[in-house]
Copies of this chain bind each other. A is one copy, B any other.
Amino acid sequence: MVVMTRWLNPDEQRTWRAYLTASRALMDTLDRELQRDAGMPHAYYEILVRLSEAPGRQLRMSDLAEAAGSSRSRLSHAVARLESAGWVRREDCPTDRRGQIAVLTDDGFATLAAAAPGHVEGVRRHLFDALSPAQVDQLRRISETLAERLTGS
């Protein structure tokens, strides 16, 4: 049996296109700024942020992957790069011999601290300064709904 496609109506179409344009432009802009000012892509910045917030500035690879919304493979490659940049180091997990622990180095923390103000300023300028407080709230609710549905958590 043929199932009819539920096409997007004009409002949805317009919303979807605007969303695509906006989110792509936003992430491209922030990525470029971060690359220029801190020498790392946004994905790597986020890894450093998550490590910096963890107790002891360290996390199991799996936990870090989940926190950063990354696949294990992606994280493996990323941490390899971050390690060779001297921002992260790997340690063996004492309780699970399969495990690896990613530890933020002092150098990594300093780099993050240096990059953070500029990046936050970018997020503010490109996102929050453009929205009313009510819109920020709307965006939060929408995003939380979508995140929950998509990540199943």
Q: CB within 8 Å of B: which residues of A?
A: 5-8, 11-12, 14-16, 18-27, 29, 46, 69, 116-117, 120-121, 123-124, 126-128, 130-131, 135-147, 149-151
Cβ A23 vs Cβ B25 within 8 A = no
Chain B residues lying within 8 Å of A29, measured Cβ to Cβ, are: 150
User: Could you say which residues of chain B place their CB within 8 Å of the CB of A21?
Assistant: 69, 143, 147, 151
Residues of B within 8 A of A22 (CB): 142-144, 146-147, 150
The verdict on A135 contacting B126 (CB below 8 Å), with A25-B150, A26-B150, A120-B7 known, is no
Task: List the B residue with the shortest CB-CB distance to A143.
Answer: B18
Is there contact, CB below 8 Å, between B120 and A131? no
- Once A6-B121, A69-B20, A145-B131 are accepted as A-B contacts, the answer to whether A14 and B139 lie under 8 Å apart by CB is no
